Structure 1
């Protein structure tokens, strides 16, 4: 087996964990099965991660980071604020529809962390990351499109995280149909109404 820098090996194992957990569920995924998925020995796994908690933190950060990058890339200033906001929601929505297992995993990770003593902070960190990402996106968008918010950034960021959470679960349970697609327009109109262009 070729030697690999620690950060790269941790990334490899994190990717393997995401695949295994998406397929088998968090509770049924073992360190042994993750090592097998990555094609490495169990000792390599334990060299990279000293605990399952450290692995779960890496998984949560990786998945959340991917979502943030995906939406950030989509939210480039367009002709109107509404079009810009709609593009961000659409790319996220399309990702949920195309990758339901990965998004189900995020809910499973949250529940797993909340139910395991000593792991609760992972669930809190997961949602803090969502809020931080929204706050950063709002700040970047505000500067690029010259608008101010009608509500404080931390409040709107937390609201958007909660709304996205519900939107995701709704899509996972009820599917992507015409009514679901119209939800995006409703959400977009609501969010666009919470900002005001500067005079």
Structure 2
């Protein structure tokens, strides 16, 4: 086994944990099974993670990174702001449809953390991460707005008829609920209609000041 930077080894183990937990469930996944999934020794696992809490936090952050990466790529300026926002939602939704087990794992992680003594802060961290991520995406949307409005500087605060933190929490709650509904009912058409409605709503919050 060649030498690998600690950060890369942690990433390797985290991805192995996601695969194992998606397949077997959080409660049934052990440190030994994660090490085996990664093709590493148990001693390497304990060198990289000093607690199960540290591992679960890394899992939560990495799963969020998986879908947010494709959303960031989709949020490039398009013909209209509406199209840009809808493309971002669609990128997220395509990830949900392609990786339902991984998204199902996020809900299991929440329940596990809330039921496990001393782990509740991980569930709070998980949902705060969702809101923070949407806040970052709203900031990224400034570029798209400036492109469409030909504004010389980012001025999203003047155009958005809702505080960024409030909108970020709203979008996190909306996609969280919509994702769970899809995992239960499997209704892609209904999900698409809801995403269209949310896109209309968010676009409607944009206020362009008079010249």
Cross-structure match for 2:76: 76
Cα deviation for residue 120 of structure 1 reads 1.1
- Per-residue Cα deviation, 1:136-169 (whole angstroms, up to 9, x for no partner): 1112213431452111111000000000101111
Task: Kindly indicate whether the alpha-carbon contact (under 8 Å) linking 2:81 and 2:144 is maintained by their aligned counterparts in 1.
Answer: no
Choose the corresponding residue for 2:186, options 175, 178, 182. Answer: 175
Cross-structure match for 1:8: 8
Cα deviation for residue 22 of structure 1 reads 0.4
Rate the CA distance shift 1:177–1:128 in 2: closer, same or farther, 3 A.
closer
- Per-residue Cα deviation, 1:100-143 (whole angstroms, up to 9, x for no partner): 00000011111111111211111111111111111111122134
Cross-structure match for 1:145: 145
Cross-structure match for 1:39: 39
Cross-structure match for 2:22: 22
- Structure 1 Cα separation of the partners of residues 90 and 114 of structure 2: 30
Task: Kindly indicate whether the alpha-carbon contact (under 8 Å) linking 1:35 and 1:42 is maintained by their aligned counterparts in 2.
Answer: yes
Further displaced range: 51-60 or 3-12:
3-12
Matched, 1:160 2:192: no
Cross-structure match for 1:113: 113
Cross-structure match for 2:153: none
- Structure 2 Cα separation of the partners of residues 196 and 183 of structure 1: 23
- Structure 1 Cα separation of the partners of residues 30 and 45 of structure 2: 11
- Structure 2 unaligned residues grouped into runs of 5+: 147-155
Task: Kindly indicate whether the alpha-carbon contact (under 8 Å) linking 1:132 and 1:157 is maintained by their aligned counterparts in 2.
Answer: yes
Instruction: Within 5 Å, give how 1:45-124 maps onto structure 2.
Output: 45-124=45-124
Task: Kindly indicate whether the alpha-carbon contact (under 8 Å) linking 2:75 and 2:144 is maintained by their aligned counterparts in 1.
Answer: no
TM-score, normalization by structure 1: 0.95
TM-score, normalization by structure 2: 0.90
Task: Kindly indicate whether the alpha-carbon contact (under 8 Å) linking 1:53 and 1:119 is maintained by their aligned counterparts in 2.
Answer: yes
Question: What is the Cα-based RMSD across aligned positions, in Å?
Answer: 1.3
- Per-residue Cα deviation, 1:177-196 (whole angstroms, up to 9, x for no partner): 32332222112111211222
1:195 aligned counterpart, secondary structure = coil
Cα deviation for residue 16 of structure 1 reads 0.3
